[in-house]
Structure 1
Amino acid sequence: MEQTVLADPESYLEFVDEISSWFSVPAAEVDRKLSGERARLIASVELINDRAAAGDRTAFYYQQLLLARIYGMVTTIPHGRNAEGSVVLHEVTRLLEDATLAAENRFIEPGTVEAAPKEGKAFLSWIKGLARSHRVFKHPYYTEFINQHAQADDLRTYVIQESLVDGRFDDLLAMMQIGTDGPSKLEIASNFWDEMGNGKAEEVHTHLFNKIYEVFDITADEMESAMTASDLLAGNLALLLCRYRSLYPEAVGFLGMTEWLVPDRFTNVIRAWERLGLPDVGITYHRLHVTIDSVHAAGWFHNIVLPSATSDHMRHGIARGTLWRLNSSARHLDERLEQARAKNSSDTDRKV
């Protein structure tokens, strides 16, 4: 494929739609049909990756959209045969994943990961210190905008943006626990069982999260179109790390930091919800997680991080995952805050 083929947003979308159209085709058939197209497809994905790495926001969006669609295909029970297992599709996926992680590594200050202490408790304190000193800790998007200024439509947008992590946290845990043992497996299992409502269908956390959709009348059809590149990246990173055993230490850091940040963030969401007098059924999920995630964050650090931090390989991976979460979340919240302020300024101008 010539580079000029991917010259504008429409051509990016056409390419993403082309690959997406294979998802319902059996893997062997996909590979047979595309045997002569591999060079074109790979060149196109590499071009999108290169442009995204160079700061092209449009390329970044379509890079993450394609990866999110692929992940949607491989994490959904199909109604028939699908393209899961396709060699060509796997190569496309790996190119997107490698580019995504390479981009995140560029945001890590050189030498930071290597500075991780070797002793377990010192390492754990160091990890927490990274978070407390990071600009994402108590980010003004939550502490100021959500808490004090957000309106119902702002919370509606927030819920959609959070759905790719909060809406499937149980699946992330299920994937992550494969191959673990001892206290780590038990901690993940305990966390998963809480996500399952401790065996009560009406208290399963994904069910409770979906209640928020009902409050705001959010439909499945509008979910993808409402996502920004940073929204897609948040979900893609979480699934990527939990999917591969070689990235287990990074998943430990990424999900552990996700849980540690949740109680403070969700407290601000609850305050906004109550300030606006929205239906109580829609905030049950967040109220539960303020308490539960405080417990699970402590358990995660002591039963997963500490037993795992036994080698430079594991410690450096946990540190990378932690920084990937902190850095990507900071950029994400910066973007959200900028958009929220721009929207509120526009609304004020219209009223005047």
Structure 2
Amino acid sequence: MDMQLELLEASKSDLIARARTHPFLVRCRRGEVKLEELKLFLVQQGFYSTYFTRYLCAMMANLPGNDEVLALADNLFEELGLEPDSPQPHHLIYREMLQHFGLNLAGAEPLAGTRHLIERMFHHCRALSPSAGLGALCLGAEALVPDLYTDLVAGFRSCGIEDRAIEFFLLHIECDDGHAETIRDIMVDIASADSKQIDIMLDAGRDIVEARMHFFDSIEAAHRDRQRNGAELQEHMTGAIPA
């Protein structure tokens, strides 16, 4: 059991480091990201996170026993705001954050990288082997959240955004470590009983991290396109003014 735990923890650290090399997060940490790009991220992350409870439910359906289901039910209840001390449902907190920035998912379209990330997460969570869904949700999502959201918070703060406007991220920096540990403990038990399962877990985690890198790529590309289109429009308008 100790060997499986050490391997999972080492892999988690590697995947966190891998994700944080993306230029988008690097620019967030350095305070070089623009608010318009962060707004673009908020909408695309909104599309992905809208499905989070469904990712979790799909994966829970394939768990080996009720003990594992009950362990993850606490995570689900917290997401839905059903825990006694939990705030309102997380999706409502996210919606309020979008509204603060004048954003709405209605009328927007998910980018190619966003669609790919959603598809890959569902692919693993729906797999008959629970190891795939566990690896995807833990190593590819929950375990990364505190570090990735810390980088994002740094980006928002560098743009002059107050913490009350990004409560969703601050909340998840605090709570998702516990969520990741709950999933990790189930992974350790499964891998201890069948050592072949560890490779399935690690492969799923790596796949989701790579999909997340493509997700960030799409955001950067869309932001560049908007800047280029805006510059071309400005140039056209300037050129149309009579001398």
Task: Give the structure-1-normalised TM-score.
Answer: 0.56
Deviation at 1:192, TM superposition (A): 1.3
Corresponding residue number in structure 2 for 1:252: 134
Give the deviation of 1:199 after TM superposition. 4.8
Q: Give the aligned residue type for 2:88.
A: E
Return the offset for 1:194.
1.8
Instruction: Please list, as runs of the form range in 1=range in 2, the aligned pairs for 1:49-198 lying within 5 A after superposition.
Output: 119-128=3-12, 130-131=14-15, 134=18, 136-145=19-28, 148-180=31-63, 181=65, 184-197=68-81, 198=83
Matched, 1:337 2:214: no
Equivalent residue, structure 2, for 1:111: none
Give the equivalent residue in structure 1 for 2:178: 295
- CA distance in structure 2 between the aligned counterparts of 1:323 and 1:162, rounded to whole angstroms: 19
Distance across 2 between alignment mates of 1:126 and 1:232: 29
Equivalent residue letter for 1:233: H
| Structure possessing the higher relative contact order (Cα contacts under 8 Å, 6 or more residues apart) | 2
**Residues 115-167 of structure 1, C-alpha deviations (whole Å, 9 max, x = no match):** xx994234324422541563x23433113147513333222210111123322
Q: Which moved more, 1:125-134 or 1:247-256?
A: 125-134
TM-aligned CA distance change 1:261 to 1:313, over 3 Å: same
Selected match of 2:94 from 209, 217, 230: 209
**Contact kept? 1:242, 1:251, Cα under 8 Å:** yes
Q: Deviation digits for residues 201-250 of structure 1, max 9, x if unmatched?
A: 962111101112212333343222xx221111111222232234x14211
Q: CA 1:122 to 1:342, structure 2 compared with 1: closer, same or farther past 3 Å?
A: same
**Corresponding residue for residue 240 of structure 2:** none
- Which residue, out of 119, 126, 135, partners 1:236? 119
The 8 Å contact of residues 167 and 209 in structure 1, kept in 2 or not, is answered as no
In structure 2, the CA distance between the partners of 1:296 and 1:220, relative to structure 1 (3 Å rule), is: closer
| Per-residue Cα deviation, 1:283-302 (whole angstroms, up to 9, x for no partner) | 1111100011122223322x
CA pair 202-295 structure 1, distance change in 2 beyond 3 A = closer
Structure-to-structure mapping, 1:213-224, within 5 angstroms: 213-224=98-109
- Percent pairwise identity: 17
Task: Report the equivalent of 1:86.
Answer: none
Structure 1: segments with no counterpart, 5+ residues? 1-116
| Residues matched between the structures, number | 230
Q: 1:161 is paired with a residue of what secondary structure?
A: helix
Is contact 1:254–1:321 with CA below 8 Å preserved after alignment? Answer: yes
1:318/1:292 CA distance change after superposition, 3 Å: same
Letter aligned with residue 106 of structure 2: D
**Structure 2: how far apart are the matches of 1:155 and 1:217?**
13
Structure 2: segments with no counterpart, 5+ residues: 236-243
* Pairwise CA RMSD: 3.1
The answer (yes or no) to whether the contact 2:62–2:130 under 8 Å persists in 1 is no
Contact 2:24 2:220 in 1 (8 A): yes
Q: Is the 1:187–1:299 Cα contact (8 Å) retained in structure 2?
A: yes
Whether 2:218 is the aligned partner of 1:308: answer no
- Which whole-Å CA distance do the structure 2 matches of 1:182 and 1:331 have between them? 35
Structure number with greater Rg is: 1
Pairwise CA distance, 1:254: 0.9
